[in-house]
Amino acid sequence: MYLALFLTPWMVGYATSTLLMNHQAGRPVVFMRESEQPYNTSFESGTPPRVVAGQILSDLDLEGTFGVAPSPDGKLTITRQDIVAPWRITFYPSDHRLTIERARADAVGFLYRFHRRRGYEPPYAADRAMAFSVDLVIVAMVFWALSGLWMWWEMRVTRLWGLACGVLGIALFSFFAFAI
């Protein structure tokens, strides 16, 4: 019970985001221009795009998990993940210029990003904490299922209908898993 109460925000987030994803409610992220500024740091040719992007984010005080997409014309597009409102920074090396854009915060986008955020790869404390919380939710879901089974078995009066519900659920799930 206490574990369930502690994990209530996560479970509300996963349930609502699953509903939205199942109905394709997501929309492309709309970025709004925040600022444009000169950027005079020069990089040796051949510097890996991730190194350049990391330096730019560090200079902007925006360190965190990011993706980077270089263009043939030298332009570098950096997407700095932010679960509420992601950033997009574009570096134009020939102009020594940066444009900084931020996504408009919206509930649907937040829930999509929340649902998909996982993994221990990013070296940041918040990402690790999120990944740990995902593991906690996993353990909790299995624990609730097993403890629920035990509590049901302890209530003799519910055994028959409970068994019917359980068998029907297992039969339907097995059919789906093997047939589609």
Task: For residues 148 and 6, give the distance between their C-alpha atoms in angstroms, rounded to a whole number.
Answer: 18
- Our finding on whether 3 is near another protein (CB under 8 A) is yes
Query: Binding of another protein at residue 107 (CB under 8 A)?
Result: no
Which of 16/99 has CB closer to another protein?
A: 16
Cβ distance to another protein smaller for residue 40 or 180: 180
List % helix, strand, coil for the chain (3-state, nearest 5).
55, 15, 30
- Residues in contact with another protein, counted by CB under 8 A, come to a total of 70
Could you tell me the smallest distance in angstroms from the CB atom of residue 127 to another protein? Answer: 7
Q: Quote the distance between the C-alpha of residue 84 and its chain's center.
A: 10
Nearest-CA neighbor of 103 among 27, 15, 52? Answer: 27
Instruction: Name the minimum Å distance from CB 155 to another protein.
Output: 8
Q: Rule CB under 8 A: which of 149-178 touch another protein?
A: 149, 151-152, 155, 158, 161-162, 165-166, 168-170, 172-174, 176-178
| Alpha carbons 129 and 118: distance in angstroms, whole number | 10
8 binds another protein per the rule CB under 8 A: yes
* 172, amino acid identity: L
CB atoms within 10 A of CB 113: 19
**Angle in degrees, 0-180, between the axes of helices 159-179 and 125-154, rounded to the nearest 10:** 130
Q: Which of 27, 33, 104, 118 binds another protein (CB under 8 A)?
A: 118
Question: Counting contacts by CB under 8 A, is residue 121 touching another protein?
Answer: yes
Rounded CA-CA distance 131/17 in Å is 17
The residues of the shown chain that bind another protein, judged by CB under 8 A, are 1-16, 18-19, 21-24, 81-84, 114, 117-121, 125-127, 129-131, 133-135, 137-142, 144-145, 148-149, 151-152, 155, 158, 161-162, 165-166, 168-170, 172-174, 176-180
